[in-house]
Homo-oligomer: A and B are copies of this chain.
Amino acid sequence: MNQLPLGSQKDILIEPRKALTEDSLKDILRKSGLKITKQRLAILKVLNSGPRYHKTAQDILDEVKKINPNLGFATVYRFLKKLIQFQFISKISMEAGSACYELKSNESHYHIACINCSKIVEFKNKLIESTLQKIVLEKKYKLQNQIVEIYVTCDQCSQLSS
C-alpha cells in the first residue's frame, strides 16, 4: 500500500479559486453576528488560500500556527463548526481519517478520491447538480449540502498494485 499520512492529501484543482479580500472575509463574520478576531481572520485566510483548498483541521492549524503559534485545535474546530452552521464552508467526511473543509464556492463541484493514496480530484457536472436539486425540491426538503464522492483506485495506484 502506498498510503500517504492522513491529513496530507494532495489534490488537483480544476481551476483556482478567486481570492477573497480581507474585507469580504470580515463580512462573512459580520453577516453572522460573529466577532472579528485575529484567529478567525487567520483561519478564513488559510481556508481561502491555495494551492489546495480541501484542508483538514490539522492542515489549517499548521498553517495558522506560522502566524499565531498559540492558536489551538479547540479554536479551529469551534470556528469550523460555526462556519458550517452558517453555510460558509462544507465539510467533506472522508472514508478514513480526518474530515476536510473548504469554503463554499457558488458553483457546486464534486470529488473523486482515490481510496489508496487519498488524492482528490474535483469535477463539475451541471446535469448531476440540477438532478439533485430537482430531487430535493420534489420532496419539499431544504437543501443543505450536495455531496457526490466517487471512490476509485486512481491510474497511478492501479499501476503500482498490478
Contact = CB atoms under 8 A, between A and B. Distances in A.
Interface of A: 91, 93-95, 112, 114-115, 121, 123, 125, 127-128, 131-132, 135-136, 139-155, 158
24 contacts: A93-B93, A93-B94, A112-B135, A112-B139, A125-B131, A125-B135, A128-B131, A128-B132, A132-B150, A135-B150, A136-B152, A141-B150, A141-B154, A141-B155, A141-B158, A142-B153, A142-B158, A143-B150, A143-B151, A144-B151, A146-B149, A146-B150, A147-B147, A149-B149
A93 B155 CA distance: 24
Closest 5 CB pairs of A and B: A141-B152, A145-B151, A147-B149, A142-B153, A93-B93
A156 B61 CA distance: 38
A139 B153 contact: no
Contacts of A91: 95
Contact of A121 (B139, B140, B149, B152): B139
Contact of A155 (B123, B140, B155): B140
A142 B136 CA distance: 29
B123 A135 contact: yes
Nearest to A155: B140
A131 B141 contact: no
Given A146-B150, A148-B132, A127 B125 contact: no
A107 to B, nearest CB: 16
B148 A144 contact: no
A151 B132 CA distance: 11
